[in-house]
Each structure stands twice: as structure tokens, then as C-alpha cells.
Amino acid sequence: MRTDSSPGTLPAREHLPATDAGTPVLDVVIPVYNEEKDLQPCVLRLHEHLKRTFPYAFRITIADNASTDTTPRVSARLAADIPEVRAFRLEQKGRGRALRTVWSASDAPILAYMDVDLSTDLNALLPLVAPLISGHSDLAIGSRLARSSRVVRGAKREFISRSYNLILRGSLQARFSDAQCGFKAIRRDVAQALLPLVEDTGWFFDTEMLVLAERAGLRIHEVPVDWVDDPDSTVHIVRTATDDLKGVLRVGRALATGSLPLDRLTRPFGDDPRDREIEDVPKGLARQLVGFCVVGGLSTLFYLLLYGVFRQFGGSQLANALALLVSAVANTAANRRLTFGVRGGGGAVRHQAQGLVVFGIGLALTSGSLAALNAASSDPAHSTELAVLIAANLAATVLRFLLFRAWVFPDRDASTVVASHHPAAPADPTTPDPPYRPLPRHPKAHPYSASRPTGPRGPYDTATVRAGEAADRTWRDATMRLQPVRPADTDPRESR
């Protein structure tokens, strides 16, 4: 799959326009499970902070994950008393399931979430969403591991958090500093394209979302936070760590095999129209040159090592041919994946066959150089042979890059690379966003999710959604046209 030359389905980022006071710009989701004691203080404190400091209209959404205590009653009462509060009820557990359900149904252009314990100081909320509102970034996360962050927590939690992030850096090449802080935000247009690719419905949801976004080249903004550990947290650390490691293996395998259509998330180069009007400049040339040089340098060292080994058992021509053949196969595979961004097994055999043709040209060049050297000197020194071969390989390398770029891996439209990928057409910027529509109430809704009385805002209901509907996307916003890769209807982590 090609990701560097795809035109992308996401438009260029733009600053959100000023809106009417009644249109929410920010939707803050609070996922809860049996939080009857902490929910009301959390919502009241957050509402007061947003009223006092946030310059745009906002909404607070309580996402109840199948609570069995009085949490649904508290949610309904808060939604009835406070105009900016909504309450959703899901019949299956899973924080990731709750976030995907509510974010996918929300009409707010900026979507955020925070944990109900409010461990993160709320003064970081406006810095968190500001780069998303301005169009600078696609996602934003609070980081407890930034140098300027101030964190109060036990040594055990500190060790686990830092170890987990080191694992992400080592295994998935993650560059964000803190995947687990419950304080994140995302632009709605990005969420519509990204969420269908995220499979996890539990605590690994955050990590998977960030890894896919980073691999797709989306911009992630990090905000240092002040954070105080909640000693009453109900998170099962060992089970969560085990499930997270399973998620790391699953995502790593998907990235290695190229089974994730990350080209759905690409953006145009630059947000300035002048950048997008540049013509006659090959796309990705600079990046491809750097990648090709790195692969070429390593391939040359590998070739010289093989030549030295094979030279011990045969003549220079045979050693050169064998070393060049083995290094050429490795070089084609490395350039295919790293330089030209081709993922998956499709076309691999054809690419190797074309690479062998390029190898034949390089073999003729280097063999001709050796033949010329032997004609000039009957017994050339080994160092002289190496010098001639290095010069010949440099010339062959330049020719190899030109042939790879123009013949073996030419730029194609993303649709010709992955036949099964049919991205949705970009939204018409002149078409207004649909109005906010609460999720349909399920017939087996919790009794506390019954309709609320009519007030100054008119009638409204606490929406109840089954997790199966969340996975099937049968309730989703009409603007979401992308299908999930492998939707998960059940969550084996029922203890969360």
C-alpha cells in the first residue's frame, strides 16, 4: 500500500470559524462505570471551569458504560439540571467503545475526553484544544512525562507508565511521550476517518488511535500537565498491562503486513494554497532520496561483506555475482518498504523480478569494471579491486534509484495500489454539518434513561446505545462513510 503519494481523504487543516453561541465547538466526554460518588462533583467542577474560562460554546457528555449502581440516575439528573450536559447509556462495557460511540455521533468539531477523577489539572484543557481549533494539529494529548509536567503518584504506577511507553517506542516506534494519560482531544473530521480503523474497545483504545495517527503522518500536539494520582482508581493494573501488550503485538503485526489502510488519513502537503499549487516537482523525492541513500549505504556494506566471504571460495567474478545477487534481493525488499512506502505482499514477486533486471544492469556495470581492471593488470591488489567495485557500485546505485522510481515503484494513485480501498469522497465544504442528533433509545434501555421533562430547551432524552450497534455503525452520523477494518462487538475485559 502506498501512503506517500496518496492525495488523501482529509482536507487541509483550517482554523474553525466563529460560530453562534448555541453551537458547541467542544464536546468533552466523561466515560464512567459505577462512579455514583465522583460523577456529580466532576461534572460540576468541569462545567464551572468551562463556563469561566472557555471562550466557545461547549458540551459535556457523560458516557455510562453499563453501570450497575446509581450512576445512570446521577447522569440523568445532571443532564436535566444543566443545559450543557448530555447523558448516553451503553449496555456493554469498554472505555474505547464509549468514546468511539459518542465521538462518532457528536456534531462538535472538537472532541475531547477526560477521566472522571479529574486527576489532570483543568488549566491544561484550553491549551489542549487550542491547536485543534486553530487548525495547527489533528490530535492533542496531555503528557505526564514531559519535562515541565508536575506529577504526584506512587513509584509503582510511575514505573509501569514509563515502562509501557518505552515498550511503545521500542516496538511500534511511537514518538509521543504518554499514551495512557486520560486527557486527549481530536478534531471531528480526523475522528471520522481514524476511529473506524481502531479495533480496541477498552483501555488500549488510546494507544492504538495515537499509533495509527502518528504512522499516517497526522500531527499530535502534546501538553505538559499537572497530574495527581487517584488512590481509589478501579483499574486492574496487571490485566490492563496484559491486554495492552496483546494490543501492541496486534497493531505491530498489522503495521508490518500493511493491512491497515493508512492512506485514508493523509493530508495534502502544506495548508498554504501556494504549497499545493507547486507543479513539476516530484512528490516525495527528498524523502525517497534520503531513504534510498540509507538503504544503499547499508546494502553496499552488506555487499562488501558478502564479497569478502565469497572471495575466499572462488574468483572475483563469481564472488561479485553472488554478493550482488543476495544484496540486490535485500536491497529491493528494503527499498520497497522503507523508501517507496509499498506495504503488503501485493506485487512483491513482480517487484523482485524487476529488481533482478536492475541487478543485471548493475552486474554488467561492476563485472565490466572488474574485466577492465584485470585487462589492465594481471594480478591487481585486493584493495584496488574494492576501490573499483565501490566506484562501479556508486554509479550503479544512481542508475538503480532512477529505475526504481520510474519503473519498479512508479507513483500511482492510491486506488490502483489497493483495489479494495474505496475512500469516501471529501465532504463538500459548502454543505453545512448536520444538526446534533441524540442516539436512538433502545427498547431495553435502563429505566433511568427514560425521557426527561420538558424544560426551556425543549424535550430531550438520555440516549441508550448497545455496543453491538456501536460496532455495526448502524446509528452513526450520516457523514461517516468509512467502514471499520474488523469491528469488535464484544469486550472480553468485562471486569473493567
What is the distance between the alpha carbons of residues 496 and 483, in angstroms, rounded to a whole number?
Answer: 27
Residue 154 has a pLDDT of: 77
Mean pLDDT, range 26-42, rounded to an integer: 94
Q: What is the pLDDT of residues 175-194, one digit of tens each?
A: 888 888 889 999 999 999 99
pLDDT digits (tens, 9 = 90+) for 349-363: 888 888 888 878 877
* Helical packing angle, 285-311 and 382-403, nearest 10°: 150
Report the pLDDT value the prediction gives residue 338, as an integer from 0 to 100. 83
Is the pLDDT at 51 greater than 90, yes or no? yes
CA 49 from chain centre, in angstroms, equals: 30
**pLDDT tens-digit map of 87-143:** 999 998 888 999 999 999 999 999 999 999 899 999 999 999 999 999 899 999 999
Confidence of residue 153 (pLDDT cuts 50, 70, 90): confident
Calpha distance 286→204 (Å, rounded)? 35
Among residues 248, 236, 340, the alpha carbon closest in space to that of 290 is found at 340
Q: What is the pLDDT of residue 445?
A: 42
DSSP state letters, 242-264? HHHHHHHHHHHHHHHHT-S-GGG
String of DSSP letters for 23-82 = S-SEEEEEEESS-TTTHHHHHHHHHHHHHHH--S-EEEEEEEES-SSSHHHHHHHHHHH-
Q: Is the pLDDT of residue 279 over 80?
A: no
The dihedral built from the CA positions of residue 104, 105, 110 and 115, taken in this order, carries a sign that is negative
pLDDT tops 50 at residue 453: no
**199-253 pLDDT, tens digit each:** 998 889 999 999 999 988 899 999 999 988 876 655 566 677 788 888 888 998 8
What's the half-sphere exposure (Cβ side, CA atoms, 13 Å) at 171? 20
Is residue 427 scored above 70 in pLDDT?
A: no
The pTM of the whole model exceeds 0.85: no
